[in-house]
Chains A and B, each alone.
Chain A
Amino acid sequence: MSEKFDVIVVGAGPAGTACAYLCAKSGLKVLQIERGEYPGSKNVMGGVLYRKQTEEIIPEFWNDAPLERPIVEQRFWMMDKESTVTFGYKGLEWAKEPYNNFTVLRAPFDRWFAQKGVEQGVLLINETVVTECIVENDKVVGVKTDRPDGEILADVVVLADGVNSLLAQQLGFRKELKPDEVALSVMEVINLPKEKINDRFNLEDNQGCTIEIFGDSTKGNLGTAFLYTNKDSLNIGVGTTLSSMMNAKLKPYDLLDYLKNHPMVAPLLAGGESVEYLAHLIPEGGFHSVPKVAGHGVVVVGDAAQLVNAIHREGSNMAMASGKMAAEAIIKAKERQDFSEASLNKYREALYESFILKDLEKYKDAAHTFEHHPQYFNDYVPMLNQAMSKFFTVDGTPKREKQKQIVKGFTGEKGTLNVIKDLYRAWKAVK
């Protein structure tokens, strides 16, 4: 053991790189260790990158970063077997600077982002696995890698090692993930010519669209599917909690196949060439699953800290924001030369005061509620579809009579009281 760094960042996803970038920018000596062949080679997400939190690290990144399309339309589908109720918003204010968010492919984006860190002085090494933190007198003082002479020291170790963070687990910051705390998501990248994408999704060249699909996309299980437009490819994927998948004996690739062949989806994909298949766990335990995030000489960021808002499918923004808050705490700790838990707890405080933990707290019971009450996906989505079908079918029935029938359709089998209870419960879970 020869060299000592100010900061070692384990992992080169959005959280790790945001933290490494800002630490290096403020003059700290930073080593970033990535297990993949290059940053992004092992990273997976549906594909939405948020402007606000990215811009706070690299202003006007959209001039330089490998982005796919600025998102101008967000659609939501409540899908049944042969129908879908759809709502959404399209706004061309999102088609110009400063934009709202973008679709991205992670392999090129993460690589670019990490390279920005290298330009700030981050020392990045790939193909290296950190096997454990070196702990002395209850203080993390460095990491051990799988390489010969593989130990290296630092004042602070940043754990940005992803959803499964074995390192945080080894330190006792968290327990092993339970099947209802994670979603298993599978996705494909499907190549399709730009013109076809523009036609099918009603877009111009530099405009993108996201579709979140609920209901039959997961065969009624707790989860969602998504279909996002890239420049000349589509990202399509589906995920449910691991526990739902186990209970329903679903195979993730069967579910994706089912979605791709669904009559509401298949025409959008027709003629496309599947070029990539990816799968990943997504931390969806929310507020209750957030582990200890600061200790003596160590902080935990991004997915490793379970910072994902499953309801709003936000994750990369929380990753970057948490990386930034961690960097700010580390920079202050360095000024004081105090890397104790009390000092690094500034990061924890910032995290809990920010939108991240506030949002996670808002939805802290949502996943739990929907998992234990499957009627929301199983019953109400088909009922909604039937209601809309009835309402818009012109068959000579007076509209007032139709409305009556629709209300009856909702309350008939369940009883009015139960429906009101369900509505109240759902409202409480997301209020």
Chain B
Amino acid sequence: MHIVVCVKQVPDTKIIKINPKTNTLDRRSAPAILNPYDAHAVQEAVKLKQALGQGKISVLSMGPPQATEVIKKSIEIGADEGYLISDRAFAGADTLATSYALSKALEKIAAKHPIDIVICGKHAIDGDTGQVGPGIARRMDIPPITNVIEVTKFDKENRIILVKRKLTNGYEELEVQLPCLLTVEKEINQIAYSPLPNMIRAARYKPNIWSVGDLEAVDKAQLGLKGSPTVVGKMFTPPKLDGGKLLEGAVDEQVKQLIEVLSERKELLNVK
């Protein structure tokens, strides 16, 4: 069983600042971290490998040389191998060009060791698009199963897995034939505290770094800025919402106040 997890290095958006002039993220203001959803993706691969009692986990990332850090982080969580595609030709890629580049790298990985499952995070916290996972699946011609919250069954014999997908009002359960691609939600697992041997292995680990020249049959026109049809029209920080009003007093008193508010401001009752 070969599971490949796609991971991305992102600025920690919990603490990042926004440049008020350009409305873009000031990437220097926040440390780079492993995209939290991707950490859960790696953890799920580790869980599946442990449940099966065998298998191999590879992680793949695209980014500048510093992105080796997130591969090392993935090794800490329990991945076996890591690959980074890093080249100026990839720079400025949107989700279309990114999924193309990653699928080319996956082809190369698969040539050595066929891939059974690709796992991605639901989305990256810096872009929130959630398009790269499905994009890869489409290019590899395998089913994309998004927003997975649980892998309930793994039928190794018939190469079938049973998964739960999160929907707006509940979940659906799907039976999926391998190979397939999953994108995972955070609630799929808890990140385990990595064992010390993993930490030592990660500190020592040197990821495989590939440039464009290392990939086979690449159409350079589909890479980087050139291969990215996305145009950012405008960026802005949404206005802050007005704070609410807290009703206080005894319950009866609060109910009375609430009715008053609602009768005055009928627009609050219009559910859109």
Chain A contacts to B: CB under 8 angstroms: 2-3, 31, 123-125, 128, 145-152
Annotate B181-203 by CB proximity to A: 1 below 8 A, 0 otherwise.
00000000000111111011011
- Tell me if B245 counts as interface (CB < 8 A to partner A): no
Chain A nearest Cβ from B207, distance in angstroms: 15
Instruction: Judge whether B196 and A147 touch: CB under 8 Å.
Output: yes
Q: How far is the CB of A407 from chain B (nearest CB, A)?
A: 58
Q: How far is the CA of A124 from the CA of B199 in the complex (A)?
A: 9
Given pairs A125-B196, A128-B199, 12 additional interface contacts (CB within 8 A): A2-B197, A3-B200, A31-B200, A124-B203, A125-B200, A128-B196, A147-B196, A148-B196, A149-B195, A149-B197, A150-B195, A152-B196
Q: Which residue of B lies closest to A147 (CB)?
A: B196
Indicate whether B204 reaches chain A with its CB closer than 8 angstroms.
yes
Query: Which residues on the A side are within 8 Å of B204 (C-beta)?
Result: 123
Residue from B193, B194, B197, B199 whose CB has the most chain A CB atoms within 10 Å: B199
CA distance A147 to B192 in the complex (A): 10
- Shortest CB-to-CB span from A256 to chain B, Å, is 24
In the A-B complex, list the 3 residue pairs whose CB atoms are closest, starting with the nearest. A148-B195, A149-B195, A147-B196
Which A residue sits closest to B202, measured CB to CB? A125
The total of Cβ contacts below 8 Å across the A-B interface reads 35
Contacting pair B195 A123 (CB below 8 A)? no
Residue in chain A with minimal CB distance to B33 = A37
Contacts of B203 on A, CB cut-off 8 Å? 123-125
Residues of chain A lying within 8 A (CB to CB) of residue B193 = 146-148
Number of interface residues, chain B, beta carbon within 8 A = 11
Please report the C-alpha to C-alpha distance between residue A128 and residue B76 in the assembled complex, in whole angstroms: 12
Chain A residues contacting B196 (CB-CB under 8 Å) are 125, 128, 145, 147-152
How many Å from the CB of B201 to the closest CB on chain A? 10
A147 near B195 with CB under 8 A, answer yes
B interface: dominant SS:
helix
Q: How far is the CB of A136 from chain B (nearest CB, A)?
A: 19
A31 to B204 alpha-carbon distance, docked (Å): 10
Closest chain-B Cβ to A271's Cβ sits at a distance in Å of 18
For window 222-237 of B, CB contacts with A under 8 Å fall at none
Kindly list chain B residues whose C-beta atoms are within 8 Å of the C-beta of A150.
195-196
Closest to A123 in B: B203
Cα separation A31 to B203 with both chains bound (whole Å): 10
When distances are taken between beta carbons in the complex, the residues of chain B under 8 Å from A2 are 197
Q: In whole angstroms, what is the CA distance A148 to B46 when docked?
A: 15
Within 8 A of A (CB), among B45-86: none
Residues of B within 8 A of A128 (CB): 196, 199
Q: Which of chain A's residues have a CB closer than 8 A to the CB of B195? A: 147-150
Q: Which residues of chain B from 67 to 115 have any CB-CB distance to chain A below 8 Å in the complex? A: none
CA distance A203 to B192 in the complex (A): 51
A2 to B200 alpha-carbon distance, docked (Å): 11
22 A-B pairs, CB-CB below 8 angstroms?
Answer: A31-B200, A123-B200, A123-B204, A124-B203, A125-B200, A125-B202, A125-B203, A128-B196, A128-B199, A147-B193, A147-B194, A147-B195, A147-B196, A147-B199, A148-B192, A148-B193, A148-B195, A148-B196, A149-B195, A151-B196, A152-B196, A152-B200
Q: Using Cβ atoms and an 8 Å threshold, which residues of chain B touch A148?
A: 192-196
- Min CB distance B198 to A, Å, is 8
- Nearest CB to that of B192 among chain A residues? A148
Considering only residues 164-222 of chain B, those with a C-beta below 8 Å from chain A are: 192-197, 199-200, 202-204
Give the shortest distance, in Å, between B73 (CB) and chain A (any CB): 10
- A5 CB → nearest B CB, Å: 9
How far is it, in angstroms, between the C-alpha of A166 and the C-alpha of B17 when the chains are bound?
38
- For B202, list chain A residues within 8 Å (CB): 125
For B194, list chain A residues within 8 Å (CB): 147-148
A106 to chain B, nearest CB (A): 16
Measured between beta carbons, the chain B residues less than 8 angstroms from A151 are: 196
Q: Which residues of A contact B197 (CB under 8 A)?
A: 2-3, 149
Min CB distance, B32 to chain A, in Å? 11
What's the nearest-Cβ distance from chain A to residue B235, in Å?
A: 25
Cα–Cα distance between A148 and B200 once the two chains are bound (Å): 13
In the assembled complex, the Cα of A3 lies from the Cα of B199 at a distance in Å of: 13
A152's nearest neighbour on chain B, judged by CB, is B196
- CB proximity of A208 to chain B, nearest CB, Å: 23
- Closest Cβ neighbor of A5 among chain B residues: B200
**Chain B nearest CB: distance from A66 CB in Å?**
13
Most interface-central of B192, B194, B202 (chain A CB within 10 A): B194
Chain A residue numbers with a CB within 8 Å of B192 are: 148
From residue A142, how far is it (CB to closest CB) to chain B in Å? 11
Most B CB within 10 A of own CB, among A31, A123, A125, A128: A125
Cα(A304)–Cα(B96), bound, Å: 54
Compute how far the CA of A3 lies from the CA of B201 in the bound complex, rounded to whole angstroms: 11
Complex Cα distance, B201 from A2, in Å, reads 12
Whole-angstrom CA separation of A146 from B193 in the bound complex: 9
Residue of B nearest to A118 (CB): B203
Could you give, for residues 231-247 of chain B, a 1 whenever the CB lies within 8 Å of some chain A CB and a 0 otherwise? 00000000000000000
CB of A60, distance to nearest CB on chain B (Å): 25
CB distance from A3 to the nearest CB of B (A): 7
